[in-house]
Chains A and B, each alone.
Chain A
């Protein structure tokens, strides 16, 4: 489903991604972790072309992301993305946030878009807040609405960029619950997160990154029991209390 082949990226002279390769099969859940500044967020943003790369190739659902001629909007419509800071559109109600992209990108009718939106808001437990604006919601509610907005587009894969890092502790659970359900339903997911509980529960594989490289790409049991690199051992000892 997603092939990342030897990609590299530089900001000026600083190399943020160094020859990264990975493959994600349909229905697979991959958790990307590593110390801050290791390139996790950049890596995930290259998958839908939000961050261009200078070398290497990325193919998503038979579309070459790194090809200049690719219709990027068309590709991005098929890959959902959830952000650390939610990024709901503040001037629109939750319902309008979900309807806008369906109408403008997928050209769905208003009725169809609203029906789809309502169904998904129900799934994330947000149906009662459909008419409210993002500024009137808690962080957890906003993030659940943002997940519903991404799902409205019927994505073939979902990218999560630290979806719980900006949340108060008591709201992390409600967002993770939605993500766990999604994983069990067979959604293809790449998740950048420090939530090792989530990784243990649903991930198939862990990508561990350090200084722009993918230094480990292992099934989760191996990663947690017998990490292959010293850097990963060190990292795990620091984040698992």
Chain B
């Protein structure tokens, strides 16, 4: 083992090897945060749609899940990378292709990973809504709340509490899945590790380093989610610690 490796000068960029890894770590964090925002919003919107009384909304939600959950992630990445820029209408596609490739690949990766994860969040949101008794919605409506008000103030706050544990797993999965983005040219943590391997020919050090980096990131997420879960726990509920 040669741990001094990380402080050796990298062949280009005028930096040391550890700075490659740090840069990759930052990209992985940025990609994960942005993709999570997309996933949470898309998953919530389509998940809610799947529970609405109107058939067209339910069908649209079902279509979204069917598309994004049934195609392998790596295939989706290549569709976004190769096909989507060509399909975008007129100037939008041109603008995208004219961008700095690093930014272009990042945007496509956020969209791809976000919508893929959103398909899974969608089903969790739906199950969180349907896990509650129909009486909750009836009670909200009976008080004169509108359907959107019922969702906003009654159904969703409880749905998110219910699905907190599987949603945490989903975030962790998403962070791990973000490594696939390196196949379309995003220089994230795994891409940097590969590069490090190529230039230094030291597989053990390179992959132990990124393993630790991913583990650190995921442990941080687990810790934060546990804090959040505790913070929003409803007094008297059985959702938290059993007394």
Mark A residues whose CB is within 8 Å of B.
Answer: 45, 48, 50, 72-81, 83, 85, 87-91, 100-101, 104-106, 132-137, 149-150, 153
Q: How far is the CA of A45 from the CA of B144 in the complex (A)?
A: 14
- Of the candidates B144, B145, B234, B236, the one having the most CB atoms from chain A within 10 angstroms of its own CB is B144
- Of the candidates A73, A74, A78, A90, the one having the most CB atoms from chain B within 10 angstroms of its own CB is A90
Binding-face segment, B62-70, B133-141, B183-191: B133-141
Q: Which residues of B contact A48 (CB under 8 A)?
A: 142
Whether the Cβ atoms of B236 and A133 lie closer than 8 Å is yes
Q: How far is the CA of A100 from the CA of B154 in the complex (A)?
A: 10
Select B141's contact among A50, A85, A104, beta carbons within 8 Å. Answer: A50
Q: Measured between C-beta atoms, what is the minimum distance from B24 to chain A in Å? A: 40
Known: A85-B133, A132-B236, A135-B234. A90 touches B143 (CB 8 A): no
B161, CB-defined interface residue at 8 Å: yes
Whether the Cβ atoms of B141 and A76 lie closer than 8 Å is yes
Question: Which chain B residue shows the least CB distance to A146?
Answer: B139
Kindly state the interface size class of chain B when it binds its partner. 20 to 34
Q: Which residues of A contact B234 (CB under 8 A)?
A: 90-91, 133, 135
Q: How far is the CA of A72 from the CA of B150 in the complex (A)?
A: 14
B146, CB-defined interface residue at 8 Å: yes
Q: How far is the CA of A104 from the CA of B143 in the complex (A)?
A: 10
Q: How far is the CA of A79 from the CA of B143 in the complex (A)?
A: 8
Q: How far is the CA of A72 from the CA of B158 in the complex (A)?
A: 25
Q: How far is the CA of A174 from the CA of B141 in the complex (A)?
A: 26
What is the 8 Å Cβ interface bit string for chain B, positions 136-166, against chain A (1 contact, 0 not)? 1011111111100100011001100100000
Whether the Cβ atoms of A73 and B235 lie closer than 8 Å is no
Whether the Cβ atoms of A89 and B154 lie closer than 8 Å is yes
Whether the Cβ atoms of A87 and B237 lie closer than 8 Å is no
Q: Measured between C-beta atoms, what is the minimum distance from B52 to chain A in Å? A: 16
- Of the candidates A76, A88, A136, the one having the most CB atoms from chain B within 10 angstroms of its own CB is A76
Whether the Cβ atoms of A83 and B139 lie closer than 8 Å is yes
Whether the Cβ atoms of B144 and A105 lie closer than 8 Å is yes
Whether the Cβ atoms of B136 and A87 lie closer than 8 Å is yes
Select A73's contact among B146, B153, B154, beta carbons within 8 Å. Answer: B146
Q: Measured between C-beta atoms, what is the minimum distance from A120 to chain B in Å? A: 14
Q: How far is the CA of A19 from the CA of B167 in the complex (A)?
A: 49
Q: How far is the CA of A89 from the CA of B142 in the complex (A)?
A: 13
Whether the Cβ atoms of B142 and A136 lie closer than 8 Å is no
Q: How far is the CA of A106 from the CA of B144 in the complex (A)?
A: 9
Q: Which residues of A contact B237 (CB under 8 A)?
A: 90, 133, 135
Q: How far is the CA of A132 from the CA of B228 in the complex (A)?
A: 21
Interface residue ranges of B197-243 to A (CB < 8 Å) = 234-238
Q: How far is the CA of A80 from the CA of B140 in the complex (A)?
A: 11
Whether the Cβ atoms of B153 and A104 lie closer than 8 Å is yes
Q: Measured between C-beta atoms, what is the minimum distance from A142 to chain B in Å? A: 11
Interface residue ranges of B83-110 to A (CB < 8 Å) = none
